[in-house]
Amino acid sequence: MSTTLNGRVLVGGNASGELIIIRKPISFLGMVNPVNGQLKSSVDNQKGISLAGKILWLPYTTGSTVGAYIIYQMSKNNVAPIAILAQTADTTLASGCALSNILLVDLIDLNKIPKDSNFASVNGNNGAVTFKTIASINNP
Amino acid sequence: MYLTNKEEMALKGEYGEAQQIAYRILYAIGNGANADRLMEAKTSHISGVNYHNIGDAGLELLEDMAKTARFVIPTTINPCGVQVSPPIHLNFKQDLYEKQERILAAFAKMGSRGSYTCIPYEYDNVANMGDHVSWAESSAVVYGNSVLGIMTNRESGLSALASAITGKTPHYGLHLEEKRRAKEWVLVDMPLNDEVDYGVLGYYIGKNFKDTIGIVGLRAPTKMQLKSLSAAIATSGPMGMFVQDEHIPTSSYIRFGKEEYNATRAILDKSEEGQAILLGCPFMGYDELKHFAEALTGKRFTKPTYLFTSHSVYESAASEGIIISIEKSGAKVVQDACPSLSYIPELIGATKIVTSSTKGSFYMAASSKVAIELLSLDEIIRKYTA
């Protein structure tokens, strides 16, 4: 079973991998550790979870525009997400992903993502994102 | 968003990594804002210079970019976290100097010019009415669009950097005539007497509206008052422009009277007797320094007083004897450093600050947790000189 949603490509590329959903907007400055790629404060009870190498869905980002530089630092430290999906990308998120060449697709509605999805494939040419549920996520 | 063949190639990396990163930023922001295309920007003004704001993450990015990126249009940058032009009046920490100077060196290598300034429209980055530019520094954006008639969106440090490298900016928002016309109006139903009153109005407008606003009822405001209004609008919300209208073409509008004024002023002004006076947020311009020097003749400040301005304004004022006459009052004129986001209160050991700036009130209270006494320049001179 898989579901494909179509979003808007802001930074191109292709990626597939484990999906992490953060339901509330986050500020990369202050809430994410750029050294290890982990969430610092308790967001959605997901404190300590690593964003490194994942496909991240979030509604949008808040807080300082310095968040863009934090995304860049994560990328240089090889702990950035491989793709970010957003409800609506704000300029901090857009410029942070653009700077770091992280695939970014927005206009992806959380309500349309099947509930137990844990894997996504993103086509950065046309904005198609396919969501799946995989039993053994470590060996998809 | 449509890209020309050349822009498409730059985005693919045909013209090197710096161009590719810059086009990626413009594409992401432009596409996100539903821009139809890129357009030429005549000049750029970049924020995100102060080490206190961008930290090591920003320093690292700027040094990486400076390896290959070069600015292709006239580009100025914001104030920084220390004073670099002598005479030095404030002793910032040495390690802060080292980091800040690396940031400034990276910008200089890419080709930034002029002085570090939040009023680029004075001396350093002069654009004419109708020019399309790419400016960050929100107070200058609102003043530029609304008073000078230049056209710019409220860019971020990174989008303005991308414009400096490419000479382009996405064509949307305040680059379009239709977005520069008011669709909502504020009726000012009380006399506004000084720059603080205009700042309070601006703070109220910025907090309550998002898009270009029409203001009715202003009585021939001075340049200084419009600057205060612009900076305050930019402080409390995302608005990029206001227009002054003669009358309201609709029956629906918001009235700004004494009640709104008092409620807004109370957010910023704690009205406690200050321990030190900080002025120049945004930086004082040549006319303001001149007015200040004249008003101070024969007077001395009873509290430590610091005025902030750009090196270019300083030089011009110094050559006319204006700096000397201000400093006879005991006030010091500081260059380069941002008065509101460089932890000046901590540096001079003050927890209660007097200022004439609504923008400065907001940022100093937020970053240095100080109590603000908000007074106009003339009131400050009356109360705190002998």
Share of chain A above pLDDT 90, in %: 82
Distances (CA, A) of B152 to A96, B20, B144, B239: 21, 23, 8, 12
Q: Among A10, A64, A72, select the one facing B28 at the smallest CB separation.
A: A10
Question: With 0-12 CB in 10 A as exposed, 13-18 as middle and 19+ as buried, what is A7?
Answer: buried
Residue A4 burial (C-beta neighbours within 10 Å; 0-12, 13-18, 19+): exposed
Residue A84 has pLDDT above 80, yes or no: yes
pLDDT at A137 over 80: no
The pTM of the full predicted model, rounded to 2 decimals, is 0.95
- State pLDDT tens for residues B143-179: 999 999 999 999 999 999 999 999 999 999 999 999 9
DSSP strands (E only) in chain A = 2-6, 8-11, 14-21, 55-58, 83-86, 103-106, 119-123, 128-132
**pLDDT(B8) > 90:** yes
* Subunit contact A69:B61, Cβ cutoff 8 A: yes
The yes-or-no verdict on residue A115 having pLDDT over 60 is yes
Q: Residue type for B268, please? A: L
Considering chain B, what percentage of its residues have pLDDT values greater than 70?
Answer: 100
A2 is catalytic: no
Determine, for residues B32 and A9 on separate chains, whether the beta-carbon distance falls below 8 Å: no
Each residue of A4-52: pLDDT tens digit?
999 999 999 999 999 999 999 999 988 999 999 999 876 777 778 999 9
Rg, Å, chain A Cα set: 14
Give the nearest partner residue to A11 out of B24, B60, B157, using CB atoms.
B24
Under 8 Å between Cβ of B89 and B83:
yes
Higher-scoring residue by pLDDT: B272, B279? B279
Name every residue whose Cβ is closer than 8 Å to that of residue B316 and which is 6 or more positions away in sequence.
B123, B286
Across residues B362-366, what is the average pLDDT?
93
pLDDT digit string (tens) for B107-117?
999 999 999 99
B54 contacts A98? CB cut-off 8 A: no
Q: Is the peptide bond before B170 cis (omega within 30 degrees of 0)?
A: no
Question: What pLDDT sits at residue A138?
Answer: 58
Taking CA atoms, B174 is separated from B54, B154, B166, B180, B232, in Å, by: 27, 9, 20, 6, 19
Single out the residue of A37, A59, A35, A56 nearest to residue A48, CA to CA: A37
Mutate to test the interface with B, among A62, A87, A99 (most CBs of B within 10 A): A99
Is 70 exceeded by the pLDDT of residue B384? yes
Nearest CA among B176, B166, B1 for reference residue A10: B1
As a whole-number percent, the residues of chain A with pLDDT over 70 amount to 96
Count other Cβ atoms within 10 Å, centred on residue A96. 32
Confidence at A140, pLDDT banded by 50, 70, 90: very low
Q: Is the pLDDT of residue B206 over 80?
A: yes
The domain segmentation of chain A, as residue ranges, is: 2-132
Q: What is the pLDDT of residue A35?
A: 94
- Average pLDDT, whole number, for chain A? 92
Q: How far is B11 from chain A (nearest CA, A)?
A: 10
Complex prediction ipTM: 0.92
Confidence of residue B45 (pLDDT cuts 50, 70, 90): very high
8-state DSSP, B352 = E
> Quick one: average pLDDT of B126-136?
96
Residues contacting residue A20 through CB under 8 Å, at least 6 positions apart:
A46, A49, A51, A54, A55, A56, A57, A81
The residue count for chain B = 386
User: CATH topology for A2-132?
Assistant: Glucose Oxidase; domain 1 (3.50.30)
pLDDT in tens, B212-231: 999 999 999 999 999 999 99
The structure tokens listed for B197 are: 């009153």
pLDDT above 80 for B89: yes
**What was the pLDDT predicted at B29?**
96
What CA–CA distance (Å, rounded) separates B149 from B81? 30
Q: Count other C-beta atoms under 10 Å from residue B154's C-beta.
A: 23
How many CB contacts within 8 angstroms connect chain A with chain B?
75
Q: How far apart are CA A131 and CA A120, in angstroms?
A: 5
Q: What digits encode the pLDDT tens for the residues B184-204?
A: 999 999 999 999 999 999 999
Indicate whether B81 pLDDT > 80: yes
Q: Give the pLDDT band (50/70/90) at residue A78.
A: very high
Name the minimum distance, in Å, from the CA of A94 to any CA of chain B. 6
pLDDT value at position A41? 72
Chain A interface includes B277 (CB < 8 A): no
